[in-house]
Amino acid sequence: MSQAENYCCNSCESLSQKQSQKRVFKYWKPVTSLLLLLSGLAMEYFWATPWFSGYLQLSWYTIAYLPVGIPVLRQAYAHLIKGDVFTEFFLMGIATIGAFLIGEYPEAVAVMLFYSIGEAFQHSAADRARGHIKALLDVRPETAHVKRDGEITSTHPSGVRVGETIQVKPGERVPLDGKLISDTAAFDTSAITGESKPRSFQPGEKVLAGMVNLNQVTEFEVTATYDKSSITRILELVQNATLRKAKTELFIRSFARVYTPVVVGLAALLVILPALFVSPYHFQEWFYRGLVFLVISCPCALVISIPLGYFGGIGAASRNGILVKGSNYLDALKNVDTVVFDKTGTLTHGTFTVQNITSENGNQDEWLRSVHAMEKNSTHPIAKAIVQHLDDLNGNEPAVTDQTELPGFGIVATVNDKRVAVGNENLMEREAVAQTAKVPAKSGSVVHIAIDGAYQGHIHISDAVKADSSEAIKQLKQLGIERTIMLSGDKQHVAGELGSKLGIDETYAELLPEEKAAKLEKLKNQLQGTVAYVGDGINDAPVLALSDVGIAMGAMGSDVAIETADVVIQTDQPSKIATAIRIGKATRSIVWQNIVLALGVKGAVLTLGAVGLATMWGAVFADVGVALLAILNAVRVQHMKFE
């Protein structure tokens, strides 16, 4: 083992020991109270020790009560001075102090002890849910190797400017978003996308901060500063997610504020009213029933477990490469009835590739070299696809003069004293080219080539469909999504062919960006239920904002789309939409299970307590026991598989 590895192991072991010590110290209060309570019960009931009575017994249980009781009483006081009287801390304080007054010491300690244990479970579960989010912090490197003045300088990523070149060694994380300069390289993208399979990147492709370089020293041109890098934006989105509450969560908090003073009033009436109707009236008996009523009615199970359920759902989504910007959007995902897709960059890769080349006349290699020489001067995406495909052509490239790019038509130029036209059918008509063969309608674009008015052939280019687009539509229909719709700016026959191939219910094509927004608004007015829109480009931002749930394809999507959307898919996989809906459904189901469990058990035990059939121990189960069960149920969503 190397010195560095040995140091690392020792550091990790030391850190682990410190964390263990911290956990032990964290739980010393409930552990102390539990030991004192158990020993007190043993002396009182098991051994029946005669001297364990009077002030000694009171002192013993008081000492057992203080470690777990003081934090709760302190919280109750803090709320009281703010005018917030009826809280769970207030209920616990009244009930346990009252129990001491009537001599029910073990019950008083038990109420606070189990409440403390419930709180520990809650914090532990919340910490586990935050683990997936906090893990993102660990993928932000603290050092960037920048190439300046011909030398490599190490600095913090925040000190690197856009346009500078950084170097990343094998095994290191990419510190900033950048464009790959080096040859093809492989990266572990799991920290960003949740995908364990390594991905290869070509020169010029965008690589995101947090990815791990797997094979060779690579160089990047920085495209975004540290504070605007993808990983920083992801952190901000997830950390702010808990600020957006679901309607269920907001209702429970409002409900608790009304419910708590009502049950305090009922508990008071339970103590006072029997004096008017019951004979003989024993104050201590009815006071005990009132205390039991208070403990049972504490809304801890609801107030704790429901936000935890939503937080767990957000954490589960994050683990699956999906960023949900708030628990309200988890609820909205559960209710989605219609999913509307953008085409390019969402269901397709958004990058053109040459599908085939057809020669109708002349020497194919000769006219392809002319096409390559002309297209390499163009910035059009189709031109780039052709150039990339023809880069390996053999032979000398001809000289190009008088090149003119005609928007909406193509390119014309003089190549070796011949007039060459490269473009669409309209350009062929403009150049008076007599085509020898009519090209059938194809999905994608067809680039025609003519030399001195004679048709040479055509190149078929199309945008490749993503591997799991068809599976995504299938999964959505299995989930009960009523309609799938595609909106596209492409030609009708192209969009229609893709929609039919993928099994999409309705396709609307040849739409401008503003027409997409108008079309979605019209669809929302016509359709029942919740409408989700999935897009990735700048032109999708208005439509994402108009939809009930906006879903952005985040890996290759525009910053504007990601900022506007309510849910961000960090991979290029449309099938993640179905995963997000499953998480939304599972989270909502768990939340309602907890509501029914808490209200059902509390209602039953409250009735028993009012008629004197439930003790303080039963009250402890109805409150803290149910809270523990609800917390454990809420934690389940973090361990479910959704794919």
What pLDDT sits at residue 472? 94
Residue for token pair 């060779």: 216
CA gap 99, 115 in Å, rounded: 15
The residue-averaged pLDDT of 163-186 equals: 88
What pLDDT, in 10s, does the model give residues 563-580? 778 888 887 789 999 999
For position 559, what pLDDT does the model report? 65
pLDDT of residue 203: 86
pLDDT 10s digits, 531-551:
999 987 666 777 888 888 989
- pLDDT band at residue 236, thresholds of 50, 70 and 90? low
272: which 2 tokens? 């006072």
In one letter, which amino acid is 277? F
Which of the residue ranges 154-163, 325-334, 421-430, 492-501 has the most confident prediction, judged by mean pLDDT? 154-163
pLDDT of residue 70: 92
Give 70-99 pLDDT, tens digit per residue: 998 998 889 888 887 767 777 778 778 877
Q: Which residues contact 479 (CB under 8 A, 6 or more apart)?
A: 578, 581, 582, 585
- Tokens at residue 309, please? 């359920």
pLDDT of residue 233: 66
Higher per-residue confidence, 316 vs 127 = 316
**What are the C-alpha distances in Å from 585 to residues 29, 143, 284, 348, 642?**
38, 41, 48, 27, 11
User: Is it the case that residue 200 has pLDDT exceeding 70?
Assistant: yes
Partners of 410 in the beta sheet? 406, 423
Categorize the per-residue pLDDT at 285 as very low, low, confident or very high, splitting at 50, 70 and 90.
confident
Q: Is pLDDT above 70 for 195?
A: no
Going by C-alpha positions, the residue among 414, 421, 539, 417 that lies closest to residue 488 is 539
Output the six-digit token pair for 457. 């052939």
Mean pLDDT of 333-345: 89
- Name all domains of the chain by residue range, CATH numbers in brackets: 10-134+242-312+586-639 (no CATH), 161-224 (2.70.150.10), 327-347+466-565 (3.40.50.1000), 350-463 (3.40.1110.10)
To the nearest 10 degrees (0 to 180), the angle between helices 54-80 and 105-137 is 40
Q: What is the mean pLDDT of residues 226-231?
A: 77
Query: What is residue 555's three-state secondary structure?
Result: coil
Strand ranges for 555-598 from DSSP E = 567-569
User: What mean pLDDT, rounded, does the chain reach?
Assistant: 80
Distance (Å, whole) CA 561 – CA 551: 9
Residue 504: its pLDDT value, please? 95
Check pLDDT > 80 for residue 383.
Answer: yes
pLDDT given at position 19: 43
Share of the chain above pLDDT 70, in %: 81
Which tokens go with 74?
């302190």
- Evaluate whether 125 touches 308 at the Cβ level (below 8 Å): yes
**In this predicted model, what pLDDT tens digit does every residue of 604-643 receive, in sequence order?**
887 887 777 777 777 777 777 777 788 788 778 877 888 7
Q: In the prediction, which pLDDT does 24 show?
A: 46
State the Cα–Cα distance between residues 62 and 36, nearest whole angstrom: 10
The answer on pLDDT for 420 being more than 80 is yes
Q: Model confidence at 490, in pLDDT bands (50, 70, 90)? A: confident
pLDDT of 4 higher than 70:
no
25-40 per-position pLDDT tens digit: 567 888 899 899 889 8
Mean pLDDT of 583-605: 87
Higher pLDDT, 42 or 124: 42
pLDDT over threshold 70, residue 436: no
243 or 610: which carries more pLDDT confidence? 610
Instruction: pLDDT band for 7, please (50, 70, 90 cuts).
Output: very low
In this predicted structure, the answer to whether residue 132 has a pLDDT above a threshold of 60 is no
Q: Between helices 247-272 and 88-101, what is the axis angle to 10°?
A: 30
Given 177, 331, 342, 468, which residue is catalytic?
342
pLDDT value of residue 102: 77
pTM of the model: 0.65
pLDDT at 210: 79
Name the one residue in this structure whose structure tokens are 């910035």.
379
Phi, psi of 252, deg, nearest 5: -65, -40
pLDDT at 470: 93
Query: Residues 335, 486: contact at Cβ < 8 Å?
Result: no
d(CA 125, CA 114): 16
pLDDT at residue 130 tops 80: no
- Mean pLDDT check: name the lowest of 16-20, 97-101, 125-129, 156-160: 16-20
Residue 221 has pLDDT above 70, yes or no: yes
Cis bond before residue 280 (omega within 30° of 0): yes
pLDDT at 227 exceeding the cut of 50: yes
Average pLDDT over residues 579-599: 90
Between the ranges 115-119, 303-307, 637-641, where is the mean pLDDT highest? 637-641
Instruction: Choose between 377 and 165: higher pLDDT.
Output: 165
Residue 194 has pLDDT above 90, yes or no: no
* Model pLDDT, residue 87: 73
The answer to whether 504 and 524 are in contact (CB under 8 A) is no
| Contacts for 320 with CB less than 8 Å, ≥ 6 apart | 194, 576, 579, 580, 583, 642, 643
- For residue 579, the model assigns a pLDDT of 94
Asked if 548 is an active-site residue, the reply is no
Task: Name the pLDDT band for 413 (thresholds 50, 70, 90).
Answer: very high
Pairing of the two strands 212-213 and 336-342: unpaired
The string of pLDDT tens digits covering residues 51-66 is 888 889 999 999 999 9
Strands 178-180 and 206-207: what pairing?
antiparallel
- Report percent pLDDT > 90 for the chain: 15
* pLDDT of amino acid 266: 85
Q: Is the pLDDT of residue 439 over 60?
A: yes
